[in-house]
Amino acid sequence: MATQELLEMSLFVFNLVGLVVCLVGLSLARRRRRRPLGYGIAVLGFLIAAIPMLAQLFGNR
């Protein structure tokens, strides 16, 4: 199976996991003491969701 096909199949999974991680991070960010940790987790979730798109964008060189 080609890498491109594998990325296309895993797109939904990456988006779903990234969304859940991002929501957990934003929920943590509501508390003042955990705000930096929450924002960091939210950014991590965004990056997880963006991995397939970034791989397609930069992987075709």
CB hemisphere CA count around 33 (13 angstroms): 0
Nearest residue to 56 (alpha-carbon basis) of 17, 20, 2: 2
Which has the higher per-residue pLDDT, 20 or 2?
A: 20
Query: In this structure, which amino acid lies at residue 34?
Result: R
Above 70 in pLDDT, residue 60?
Answer: no
For the segment 23-35, the average pLDDT, to the nearest whole number, is 92
CA 21 to chain centre: 7
**Alpha-carbon gap, residue 3 to 20, rounded angstroms:** 25
CA 9 to chain centre: 16
Which has the higher per-residue pLDDT, 41 or 9?
A: 41
Above 90 in pLDDT, residue 5?
Answer: no
For residue 18, the model assigns a pLDDT of 94
Is the full-model pTM beyond 0.85?
no
Domain boundaries, the chain: 3-58
